[in-house]
Structure 1
Amino acid sequence: MRKILLAIMIVLLISGCTNEEDAASESKEEKDNTTEEAKATNKEAEKGVEAANTATELGDLEVQLSGEAIVEEDKITIEGESNLLPGSRIYSGGLTDGGFASSNFIDTAEVQEDGSFSFEFSGISQSTTVDLELYNNSDESKAHYGENLEKVTGPQVYVTETHGEFQVKAEFYIDVDKPMPYTIPIEIPEWQEKPADYGEPEVRMEVEMDSDHEYLYFHGKTNLLEGTWIGGNLRKASGIIDAFSYGFTRINPDGTFVLQVPYYKLQEGMYMPIRFEPQNNTWEDTLTAYGEQGEKLKGDLVKEDGENRYLELIVPVDAPNFNPPEDVGLTMDDEEVKIQMPDDLLFDFDESSLKEEAKATLDDVIKDLQKLEDNTKIQINGHTDNVGEADYNLKLSKERADAVWAYLKENGEVSGLDVEIEGYGDTKPIASNKDEEGQERNRRVEIVINPK
């Protein structure tokens, strides 16, 4: 019996030792695997950090300027990011839609130890393009980036009017007619490769157009030199200039451009002549390439005006087959069409009963609405400025929209349309309410055809 018990104890002892050795072996193996995984993870993390540090290394000659602008009624705040040398300075400036420098944005900011910078400006009443430029005014900056910024690389380096001198900048556009507050991303552009015939005197230009309810946008590609100044005035079918509808821009580094032209009323037969006139350009490289009077220009786009030669591309403007009265606006955004009638054309101050002379305006509008197919969706929307009590303005805007629909329905064959009527008061402005001109634009009744 003792021999049996002794044998059992020996077996159990051997078994326990074996299990402990196996467990220890498994534990060591798991630990080794975990250690290897941790090492691999750490290596990947280190690579990521190293790549991030490389991409954003302060003082890198491939300069990066980005961030965001927060636009509010009373102020504009810019929170910027960069890989510039700490202590560098950023210069800000602005150009209004009318082509005038905006003193509101003239300022400088210092780049902090982490590459960040910031600005704060007071609110504005005019839409403005804002530039943020590397201010190359210190000995340290000139030694690092070049006397004329010639050492800097990347998509934010631009030529200037002087040959061999460069500009490093970020750019964004503030639209004061957009409901505030809103945020604008300040982004690093991505350019395409320059065309093979870049800078040649035989100039070509291709343009596509689209629009929203404020602007016509002409998206173009050309082989003109970067910085070349182009643009023009929107014209009616008769050739007469459409007042206040003009735009100018410079060619981007890759030969692309976007020309933005404000407008109020589309009409059939309108067109946009996009011109390059060397006599209105002052940049050295442009004049060297094409001649001060355009004498070196070649190709089908070349026109002559006495001794001067210039380029002109005629771009037809799409317009719906409508003919609203003179003071009534007509705008498009894809298939959505808006007929915009100022309130003083229809109503006396603070009234919702149509004026007698308003009926002639609405009779013309009826002619256009009767061209629409049955079941076409339309909205009739009343709007006010922000003067007065919000609840009162909301009520007044709805009553005015109702009055317009009542007249259209009674005097035209429009019952087949799918109609919605709404009053929005001051909640959907199309211009700033800071001045009388903006308030006047906001007081309106809109007929929206094919609403989005």
Structure 2
Amino acid sequence: MMFQPSAKWVPATVWKGVLVGLAAVMILGGCGNGNQDSAGDPEKNAGPEVMAQDETKGKAAADGNVSDNSSSAENKVDVEIVSGTSSEHAPKDQGASDVWLQGSAKIEQDQIVISGTSNLVPGAKIEAEIDAAGYTMFGYRKQAEINNDGTFEMDIKRPDIKEGTLEITISFKPDQQSADLEPYGANGEKMTGTFIHQVEEENRTLHKAVTYIYMDAAAEIGSEWKSENPVGEKPDDYGNPAIWMKPEVNAEEGFYLIKVKSNLLEGTVVSGDIDIPDHVHFGYGEKTQVLPDGSFQVRAKQPKKNVGSFYLVLQFKPDENLSKSALAAYGKLGEKLSGDLVKTEQTDEGALKYIELRMKVDPNK
């Protein structure tokens, strides 16, 4: 745009005042601890701006022009120190190879705050992840470090899920640490206790410490749940190919919760589902992995209409994802499986043996 000169005469003294003012603005804008290049960065500008306001207020107060109330009670902000915590209250067994984790999850407006305590060494990184049966979820994962006193805290965005159960897994994996944590071994092989899970990955065996939190997806803000460690002692015939299952079924709102004790090997994948005679249906069940003591739990949706009696079905079918230990114990096609729960079906590779437990449910009783 071309400058259009005004036809109006301006006294020289006015122009002189304008030039002086512009010079003052340029000088002030160029000061501020050399931050001229950070004008577009609010974080970089926040410090100098606050300091300038404080200095101006202090000068005015010294001149008696304003009242400085910065130290009054109504301006004080309560804060909680979350770094540099003291190790005075750390667990007595901090750093022991018998690792344990305790956690809680609290629902807030748009996030879930996960906190807890562990005897892991300070600086160890733990991870929390939220999952829900029937949903494919990404990005609901967060890491935190163990503080000097053994505590940890993190927050994860609350999933937009209106029903069912959210499963929060809190885990510590030594193989994913930035530093070598000697008490636990490079692959966690030195860790012991009921919180330790074993997985096979890329031709190696890894160990991790795990605890779980199960919470109602539709719960109100402020609701809180504690972690569970359902792992107990392994049965005497743990890993025996003669498989047995002892289920306990509880009805929840819209779901059946099936808790099972078995002698299946850790990491074995089991599915829980519903079979409604003379009905075509899908999306009622879920899959889960067996815990180190052979136990597991799955949820199956309750039918939403009166369908008469139906069956809750638990299945274990060997596939290409079998761990080395399960492959050795059960066989590639389950040919080593035995017992009353064994079923057989024909596949392109031959006869496949699998485990199935059926439980009849009559909702009218």
The equivalent of 2:117 in structure 1 is 81
The equivalent of 2:220 in structure 1 is 179
1:199 aligns with 2:239: yes
Deviations 1:233-269 (A, max 9, x none): 211122x454321122222222222221122426322
Q: Quote how far apart the aligned CAs of 1:91 are.
A: 1.9
1:284 aligns with 2:328: no
CA contact (8 A) 2:270 2:314 kept: yes
The equivalent of 2:59 in structure 1 is none
Structure 2 matches for 1:347-358, cutoff 5 A? Answer: none
Aligned to 1:211, which of 239, 245, 251?
251
SS of 2:200's equivalent in the other structure is coil
CA contact (8 A) 1:68 1:185 kept: yes
The equivalent of 1:381 in structure 2 is none
1:94 aligns with 2:130: yes
The equivalent of 2:283 in structure 1 is 244
Q: Quote how far apart the aligned CAs of 1:219 are.
A: 2.1
SS of 1:286's equivalent in the other structure is helix
The equivalent of 1:133 in structure 2 is 171
CA contact (8 A) 2:91 2:149 kept: no
**Counterparts of 1:96 and 1:174 in 2: how far apart (Å)?**
10
CA contact (8 A) 1:87 1:110 kept: yes
Structure 2 matches for 1:214-363, cutoff 5 A? Answer: 214-238=254-278, 240-265=279-304, 267-279=307-319, 281-306=321-346, 307=350, 308-320=352-364
**Counterparts of 2:107 and 2:157 in 1: how far apart (Å)?**
10
User: 1:105 and 1:56, CA in 2 relative to 1: closer, same or farther beyond 3 A?
Assistant: farther
TM-score w.r.t. the length of structure 1 is 0.55
The equivalent of 2:145 in structure 1 is 110
For structure 2, the residue ranges without an aligned partner over 5 or more in a row are: 1-87
Q: Quote how far apart the aligned CAs of 1:284 are.
A: 2.4
Q: Quote how far apart the aligned CAs of 1:304 are.
A: 1.3
CA contact (8 A) 1:229 1:281 kept: no
Q: Quote how far apart the aligned CAs of 1:55 are.
A: 5.9
SS of 1:274's equivalent in the other structure is strand
Deviations 1:400-440 (A, max 9, x none): xxxxxxxxxxxxxxxxxxxxxxxxxxxxxxxxxxxxxxxxx
CA contact (8 A) 1:231 1:259 kept: yes
Q: Quote how far apart the aligned CAs of 1:149 are.
A: 0.5
**Counterparts of 1:230 and 1:94 in 2: how far apart (Å)?**
20
The equivalent of 2:84 in structure 1 is none
Q: Quote how far apart the aligned CAs of 1:319 are.
A: 0.8
Mean CA deviation greater in 61-70 or 167-176: 167-176
For structure 1, the residue ranges without an aligned partner over 5 or more in a row are: 1-51, 322-452
Deviations 1:141-189 (A, max 9, x none): 44220111111111110111346321211211232123333001124x2
**Counterparts of 1:224 and 1:279 in 2: how far apart (Å)?**
15
User: 1:296 and 1:316, CA in 2 relative to 1: closer, same or farther beyond 3 A?
Assistant: same
CA contact (8 A) 2:107 2:220 kept: no
CA contact (8 A) 2:194 2:232 kept: no
**Counterparts of 1:107 and 1:212 in 2: how far apart (Å)?**
29
SS of 1:87's equivalent in the other structure is coil
Q: CA RMSD in A?
A: 2.3
Higher helix share: 1
Q: Quote how far apart the aligned CAs of 1:312 are.
A: 0.7
SS of 2:327's equivalent in the other structure is helix
Deviations 1:299-348 (A, max 9, x none): 12111111221111111123116xxxxxxxxxxxxxxxxxxxxxxxxxxx
User: 1:225 and 1:112, CA in 2 relative to 1: closer, same or farther beyond 3 A?
Assistant: same
The equivalent of 1:351 in structure 2 is none
**Counterparts of 1:81 and 1:192 in 2: how far apart (Å)?**
21
**Counterparts of 2:277 and 2:253 in 1: how far apart (Å)?**
20
The equivalent of 2:74 in structure 1 is none
**Counterparts of 2:223 and 2:177 in 1: how far apart (Å)?**
35
Mean CA deviation greater in 303-312 or 163-172: 163-172
**Counterparts of 2:280 and 2:312 in 1: how far apart (Å)?**
10
Equivalent AA in structure 1 for residue 222 of structure 2: P
CA contact (8 A) 1:94 1:103 kept: no
CA contact (8 A) 1:88 1:141 kept: no
User: 1:166 and 1:80, CA in 2 relative to 1: closer, same or farther beyond 3 A?
Assistant: same
Aligned sequence identity (%)? 29
SS of 1:216's equivalent in the other structure is strand
Equivalent AA in structure 2 for residue 120 of structure 1: D
**Counterparts of 2:178 and 2:218 in 1: how far apart (Å)?**
42
User: 1:67 and 1:56, CA in 2 relative to 1: closer, same or farther beyond 3 A?
Assistant: farther
**Counterparts of 1:300 and 1:179 in 2: how far apart (Å)?**
45
Equivalent AA in structure 1 for residue 362 of structure 2: D
Aligned length: 267
Q: Quote how far apart the aligned CAs of 1:53 are.
A: 8.2
SS of 1:245's equivalent in the other structure is coil
Aligned to 1:62, which of 76, 90, 98?
98
